[in-house]
Amino acid sequence: MERSFEKYFRQNRLPHLWCPGCGNGIVMKAIVQAIEKKGLDQDKTVIVSGIGCSSRASGYMDFDTLHTAHGRAIPFATGIKLANPELNVIVITGDGDCTAIGGNHFIHGCRRNVDLTVVLFNNSIYGMTGGQASPMTPTHKKATTAPYGAIDRNFDACRLAEAAGATYVARSTAFHVQHLTDMIAGGIDNKGFSFIEAICQCPTSFGRKNKMADPAKMMMWMRDNAVMKAAWDKLPDDKKTEEKFPIGLFYNESETDYATAYNEVIQIAGGADK
């Protein structure tokens, strides 16, 4: 039986160009399922993406889509949201795109609390350009630019988003598909800057360098090392090893969003309609 989420894909573009076993496809499905769950109008939803493997997703999704400059997806999305606040704007970005090239745009998007839903596909590597270490490559993991293991400490994008002022911060993985869908759906519900980090596997660039070339093994790694937030909080510190990470909803607060604040200014200044 044909699945209902298929209507959100540009059928003539599939199969997608991602490598066999790439987690991006799973996360893209989770996004469209969250959109379907929330009943968003296909003509009132805009997908904005930057550059990178993850950002190719906008090309496969049957909405109004925008494939923008490297790291600049959030500024483009801010413009769309301010020009027409009734649109639902979803930003698709990768770990390099969001935290390296677009790092400043990301923190200022959080700070302004623009009503966007940002889904970060974290595959821990620059996949498209040949497996260079990104700011989210875990310390000691190998990459083509870090053959002895990365010495840099990696970003925790969720903590970064929370500190910068995002009002909805969550993390999930490509293994926990239904959980990921729920997290994205929650982000769509939140009026303000919603940030969801989706950990996904890159068997080709990250896996082969780190003895996990089998995509199923990478997903089993997620299954074994992801700890739900509630359980994580009770976990004693000695059990919080380097590999383990928490998933779930980390932060949710309601604050005035940017479009509302801007509209107040428009009214004070005489109103756009007069």
Partner 1 sequence: MNSEITIKLPRCKGCGICVAFCPKQVLAVDELGKVMVVNADACIACGQCELRCPDYAIFVDKKVKA
Interface ranges with partner 1 (CB under 8 A): 1, 3, 6, 9, 14-16, 18-26, 29, 174-175, 177-178, 203, 214-217, 219-220
Q: Which is nearer to partner 1, 49 or 154 (CB)?
A: 49
Q: Whose structure tokens read 């959080």?
A: 110
Q: Please give the structure tokens belonging to residue 4.
A: 């209902």
Q: How far apart are CA 192 and CA 258, in angstroms?
A: 8
Of 78 and 210, nearer to partner 1 (C-beta) is 210
Closer to partner 1 at the Cβ: 24 or 167?
Answer: 24
Identity of the residue, 52 or 75, whose beta carbon is nearer to partner 1 in the bound complex: 52
Query: Residue 133 or 183: which CB sits closer to partner 1?
Result: 183
For partner 1, which is the closer residue by CB, 16 or 37?
Answer: 16
- Cβ–Cβ < 8 Å for 38, 28: no
Smallest distance, Å, CB 26 to partner 1? Answer: 5
Gyration radius (Cα) of the chain, Å: 18
Minimum Å distance from CB 197 to partner 1? 18
Q: What's the min distance (Å) between Cβ of 183 and partner 1?
A: 16
Which pairing describes strands 168-173 and 88-94: parallel, antiparallel, or unpaired?
unpaired
Report the nearest approach of partner 1 to the CB of residue 216 (Å): 3
Could you tell me whether strands 117-122 and 132-133 are parallel, antiparallel, or unpaired per DSSP bridges? unpaired
Residue 94 Cβ vs partner 1, minimum distance, rounded to whole Å: 16
What is the nearest approach in angstroms of partner 1 to the Cβ of residue 19? Answer: 8
